[in-house]
Amino acid sequence: MTTREACDAGYERRIIARMVTASLRAAVRFVCIANLGYFFVEFGVALAISSVALFADSIDFLEDASVNLLILLALGWSMLARARVGMVLAGLLLVPGLATLWMAWNKFLSPVPPAAVSLSLTALGAMAVNFVCSLVLARYREHGGSLAKAAFLSARNDVIANAAIIVAGVLTAYFSSAWPDLVTGIGIAALNAGAAREVWEAARNEHREASA
């Protein structure tokens, strides 16, 4: 390859990288607005029916909105700075899990089952929002670094969590028990912990490459 060809190839790579960044920025902005909007819906229902799972999931929506806002701000930063932000995001992904455990403990002390129909319908709406967000972010999960990976994993895990909440609603209606809600909440905590580990590993690898 000649010097001119190498320069042209480098220029093309920079152009493609800028296009990917601009496209990712638009996707993250959409996901941020969608998460913030549904947070208010789910949080209100969670308080009204005293659901651990919905409360934890609504906090997760707020956390996702915050994460995506941070990603939006960090997209123009250097690779090293983005890697450091990715490490911070790994910690933030643990917040919903901790909130879930706290709510689960309080529910354990007062095991009153939530309204099953409201629980399932609200979770169905949440799953629809998160499914659309995960589709929007899926194309960037392998090429956008730890930040895009964090956003995608968060949306994907939320779809799984919402499906579990719907099942919990059905079981709550059948058994008239608070345990499905409790077990689902603990499962959401474990799911977020796994996502935090994946994001941390991706960010650490980026940090190592950028430092080298």
Q: What are the structural domain ranges in the chain?
A: 23-211
Of 13-22, 93-102, 158-167, 186-195, where does the model show the most confidence?
158-167
Q: Which residue has the higher pLDDT, 195 or 16?
A: 195
Longest dimension (CA), the chain: 74
- 78 DSSP 8-state letter: -
Whether the Cβ atoms of residue 185 and residue 103 lie closer than 8 Å to each other? yes
For residue 8, pLDDT beyond 50: no
For residue 127, pLDDT beyond 90: yes
For residue 35, pLDDT beyond 90: yes
Query: pTM above the 0.95 mark?
Result: no
Whether the Cβ atoms of residue 74 and residue 85 lie closer than 8 Å to each other? yes
Determine the Cα–Cα distance for residues 106 and 46; give it in Å rounded to an integer: 14
Q: Which residue has the higher pLDDT, 38 or 68?
A: 38
Distance of CA 80 to the CA centre of its chain: 22
pLDDT of 145: 64
Q: Which fold has domain 23-211?
A: Alpha-lytic protease prodomain-like (1.20.1510)
User: What does the pLDDT average to over 33-59?
Assistant: 89
The pair phi, psi for residue 155, each rounded to 5°, is -65, -40
- 75 DSSP 8-state letter: T
Q: Which residue has the tokens 């309080």?
A: 106
